[in-house]
Structure 1
Amino acid sequence: MVNENEKTSIIIPTYNRAELLKKAVVSLLSQTHQNIEIIIVDDCSTDNTSEVVSRMTDPRILYIKHQTNKGGASARNTGIAHATGEYVGFLDSDDQWLPEKLEKQLQVFRRDPEIGVVYTGLRVTSESGVLREMIPVFRGKILSKLLQFNCIDTTSSIIVKKELLDKIGGFDAAFPSCQDWDLYLRLAQITRFDFVQEPLVLFFQHSGERITSNKKAVQQGHIFIYEKYRDLACRQEDEVYRKFVINITKIILRTGIMNQDKKAVKLSRKLYSEGIKGHNVDFKNKLIYFSTFINLKVLLFLYVQSKKSSRNYYSFSDFISLEKNSA
């Protein structure tokens, strides 16, 4: 049983998503655990968001509007500053929670007081239906896993003890992307993680803007992660450091190919050569370095064609996809 006295503050950062916001809020009001407050932080929307929220009469809803657009990380930090719950959750305004999500996460916290973060799986959907499901794998001290790749994904899945968010200072608003990954990496240095092994978040793919659709922001965010955590990754086992460097290199290379950005491709070559210096790398991954010398138009052709291909062999898009591992 979950203690009904356990209050959770759920923060929804939003910007020009009035219609999607309504569905996100309904999914929270439908939670089986009802001791919640919903903090909507409007990051200076220019649509009718304020009008839509004014029609929401539930007293547990708090609406805060930024006077200037500050970005998602700052909006979440505003929400954290106003949160009064023992726990804090986040819900992007274009996502939804399934009804039992919060209750099941609070049950995990009650089983083990040492747990500071509980996350769930997610179901990626679109207008055409369910595209895929992502199920959690890693629990406990997961810093080494998180250094290799963001194994948690969206902040819409996590519930965190408020005291831990206060301790680390919330989100780093200087990051143009990867703010979630950076938050997890800082939390993983001071607490243990656990999960509910069910897809309890509906993550919607749509034509609207997400940070992940901004290739330049994605590129810069991964550069920030590399610069901030390279020394920490280097102190881990060699395999952890190798995947940390190679995965970031692949993302920068991929965005460079898609944007036909020579500087990004050269940067991926530089980070790779500097990061792997003195470390053992297999021949397949050495090919990453050599691919950065290939003509950009040829690389784009190879990438697009391999993404279209349904044949069951190793393609160029596989070659620059992230290296992950199992538990």
Structure 2
Amino acid sequence: MSTAFPTVSVLVPTYNRAGFLKQAIDSVLAQTFGDFELVISDNASTDDTQALVQSYSDARIIYSRNPRNIGWQANMKRCLALARGEYVTFLPDDDLMMPENLERKVCILRRYPYVGLVHSRFHMIDEEGQIIRDSTNWGHGPERDFDVIESGYAVLKRMLTGFCEVNLPTALFRRDVRDRVGEWTDQLHHTDDYEYWMRIAVCYDVAYLASPLIKWRWHQGSLTSQHIKESATGVTAEGLCEQLLAKRMVLERYWYRIPEVAALKRMVRQETRNRVVLQADVMLDNGVSRQEARAFLLKMCRTFPELCLSFNVWKTFLKTVLSPRSVQILKAVCRP
């Protein structure tokens, strides 16, 4: 490498995925931008991961093996602790980079110092590597056909009142953002990246590239597939709770830096009520027991006490207590 410290740290947390990992490594080594380190943190794999990595002779590869499995989230933080680059990107061990991924994104961060994070479209691939969604931003915000740099507030507002707009493997961010926004949280298990992107958006602008620069693999063993469902809500009950917690954490931590924060808080509260009611209704419509749906509502009310003031939440709660026949009778009695 041309400098003592690399420009980019590519961080690959891995566990027992030697087959996918080889493809991931090869996609990084094929980058048109070569000033990077490839940090692979092996979470005590029991397959051929160590032998695979050690079969490469490229000096840019840094291999670290945990003595025991410390979990996905802790391994992510382990990767961050090992990173030395000016810019950082995560590449889950089952995903791939397109050849120009680093070059295109490094160019943006070098040209625009007020941009803290750049992300992009991606190809969605299956277990065999076949494209199942071409050039998409599926599940991560609007499908825009143009590159754009947006104010952090605009991105933050959409993510607070909607969904996560940054797909983890597509994001390249400045390592020194942690000096302003802190370290990766350990209070969330599935939406820690979502919460971090919102924190970055509080302090920096955000760039989006319309070109697909990542191949994001969707398969039954992926972490994402375990927490997202193809349903009316697009998320599990557990995932919804974490999404809403991430938003509350950002609002509580940065209320003094966010414009129109009072109005935003009202919008987030309204969205919380709507999504909790929708989630419970979908659970009931999909055959989930009334007891399980009721437990979900009670958990959400304990986590977000303001839900107890919502008429719609109480109305939905009654559906989990009364039989469908009783609900119909009650509706008939209450009808004007």
Q: Deviations over 1:118-174 (max 9, x none)?
A: 111122222464235114577222221221233423210111111113543331123
Is 2:166 the partner of 1:139? Answer: no
Deviates more, 1:121-130 or 1:59-68: 121-130
Give the aligned partner of residue 119 of structure 2: 119
1:76–1:272 distance in 2 versus 1, CA, 3 Å: closer
2: CA distance, partners of 1:264 / 1:228: 21
Counterpart-to-counterpart distance in 1, 2:281 and 2:36: 41
Output the TM-score relative to the length of structure 2: 0.73
Q: Distance in 1 between matches of 2:123 and 2:185?
A: 27
Distance 1:251 1:212 in 2: 21
How far is the alpha carbon of 1:239 from its aligned partner? 6.7
Q: Distance in 2 between matches of 1:241 and 1:51?
A: 48
Equivalent residue for 1:274, pick from 306, 315, 318 = 306
**Structure 1 pair 251–102 and aligned structure 2 pair: CA distance change class (3 A):** farther
Equivalence for 1:249: 276
Q: Counterpart of 1:319?
A: none
The aligned runs of 1:193-272 (5 Å cut-off) are: 193-214=206-227, 215=236, 218-219=239-240, 221-222=242-243, 224-225=245-246, 227-229=248-250, 231=252, 232=255, 235-237=262-264, 240-242=267-269, 244-246=271-273, 249=276, 253=280, 260=289, 261-262=292-293, 263-268=295-300
Does structure 2 conserve the Cα–Cα contact (< 8 Å) formed by 1:73 and 1:172? no
Contact 1:118/1:195 (<8 A) preserved: yes
Contact 2:9 2:37 in 1 (8 A): yes
Alpha-carbon RMSD = 3.5
The residue number in structure 2 matching 1:95 is 95
1:184–1:63 CA distance, 2 compared to 1 (3 A): same
Aligned to 2:163: 150
Q: What is the deviation of 1:73?
A: 2.7
Whether 1:294 aligns to 2:305 is: no
Q: 1:265 to 1:256 in 2, by over 3 A?
A: farther
Q: Which residue of 2 aligns with 1:317?
A: none
Give the structure with higher Rg (CA).
Answer: 2
Shift in Å, 1:98:
0.9
Gaps in structure 1 of 5+ consecutive residues: 279-285, 300-327
Give yes or no for contact 2:31–2:101 (8 Å, CA) kept in 1: yes
Quote the offset at 1:180 in angstroms. 0.8
Q: Number of matched residues?
A: 289
Q: TM-score, normalised by structure 1?
A: 0.75
Change (3 A) 1:248 1:10: farther
- Residues 264-273 or 99-108, more deviating: 264-273
- Alpha-carbon distance change, 274 to 204 in structure 1, aligned in 2, over 3 angstroms: same
Contact 2:6/2:37 (8 A) holds in 1: no
8 Å contact 1:245–1:271 — kept in the other structure? Answer: no
Query: How far 1:37 sits from its partner (Å)?
Result: 0.5
Contact 1:253 1:268 in 2 (8 A): no
Q: Deviations over 1:17-71 (max 9, x none)?
A: 1111111111111111111110011122222211211112211010112223223
**1:287, CA displacement in angstroms?**
5.9
SS at match of 2:118: strand
**C-alpha contact (below 8 Å) 1:80/1:170 kept by paired residues:** no
Q: Please state how far the C-alpha of 1:290 moved relative to its aligned partner.
A: 3.7
Q: Which letter does structure 2 place at the counterpart of 1:267?
A: K
8 Å Cα contact 1:168/1:186 also seen in 2: yes
Counterpart contact for 2:301–2:308, Cα < 8 Å: no
Partner of 1:39: 39
CA distances 1:262-283 after superposition (whole Å, capped 9, x unpaired): 31133346767825959xxxxx
- What corresponds to 1:311 in structure 2? none
Q: Which amino acid aligns with 1:75?
A: N
Q: Secondary structure, in 3 states, of the residue corresponding to 1:203? A: strand
Correspondent of 1:178 among 172, 191, 205 = 191
Does the C-alpha gap of structure 1 residues 116 and 30 become closer, same or farther in structure 2, counting only changes over 3 Å? same
* Distance in 2 (alpha carbons) for counterparts of 1:276 and 1:114: 41
Q: Give the Å deviation of 1:109.
A: 1.7
Does structure 2 conserve the Cα–Cα contact (< 8 Å) formed by 1:144 and 1:236? no
